[in-house]
Amino acid sequence: MKKALILPVLLAMAPPALAGDTSPGALIEAYSAQSGSAPVPENGKALFLGKHVGGKPDTPSCATCHTNDPRKGGQARTGKPIDPMAPSVNPKRFTDTRFVEKWFRRNCNSVLGRECSAQEKADIIAWLSSL
């Protein structure tokens, strides 16, 4: 538990290049390149806040756990707190490709019942980064 607290502090103190293997900007760029079109933050917002069917019934929306304000912390259905999603308040967000990919895969499946497209990922990160 201690390590989990120390790590973000260290990451925040370190220069951006050492904070992880990537950054929100680099990820937006990579996902956009994959999809072939520019990110649309408004679409990311709609996807993040919208209620969906097709996923698991307990998680109809990203906001179910992350709340409607990504600058604030959320809470998993188990009661465990979730750190804010917006990189402006939580600089360690979107700095680790494997971590980002793991959670997109799991959570898109939980909420939408499918994987997210590269375009959707770019849209969501673009919206979260704009906050």
Partner 1 sequence: MMNQSQILAPDARAARHQVWDVFLRLFHWSLAASVTVALVTGFLLDASWVRLHLGAGILAVILVMARIVWGFAGPAYARFEQFLPRPGALRAYLREHLAGAPRRRHVGHNPLGALMVVALLLAVLGLGATGLAYLGGGLKTGPLATILPATQTGFWSETHEALAAIILGLIVLHLGGVIHESRRCGENLARAMVTGCKEARSGDLVAPHRPARPILAAAVVLALLASGGAAVVALSGRPLQDPPVAAAEFPAVYADECAACHMAYHPALRSASSWQALMARLDDHFGEDASLPDETGAEITAWLTANSAETVDNRPASLWRDLSPLPVVALPDTPQWQELHENVDPALFKRRAVYSRSNCAACHRDAESGWFSPFAISIPKENTQ
Which positions lie near partner 1, rule CB under 8 A?
1, 4, 56-59, 75-80, 105-107, 109-110
Smallest separation, CB 85 to partner 1 (Å): 15
- The nearer residue to partner 1, 39 or 121, going by C-beta atoms, is 121
Contact 124, 48 (CB under 8 A): yes
DSSP state at residue 71: T
Q: Tokens for 42?
A: 């408004």
Smallest separation, CB 8 to partner 1 (Å): 14
Smallest separation, CB 67 to partner 1 (Å): 12
Phi-psi region of 70 (alpha: psi -120 to 50; beta: other; left: phi over 0): alpha
Dist CA 121 CA 108 (whole Å)? 10
- The nearer residue to partner 1, 29 or 69, going by C-beta atoms, is 69
- The nearer residue to partner 1, 1 or 17, going by C-beta atoms, is 1
| Total residue count of the chain as it appears in this document | 131
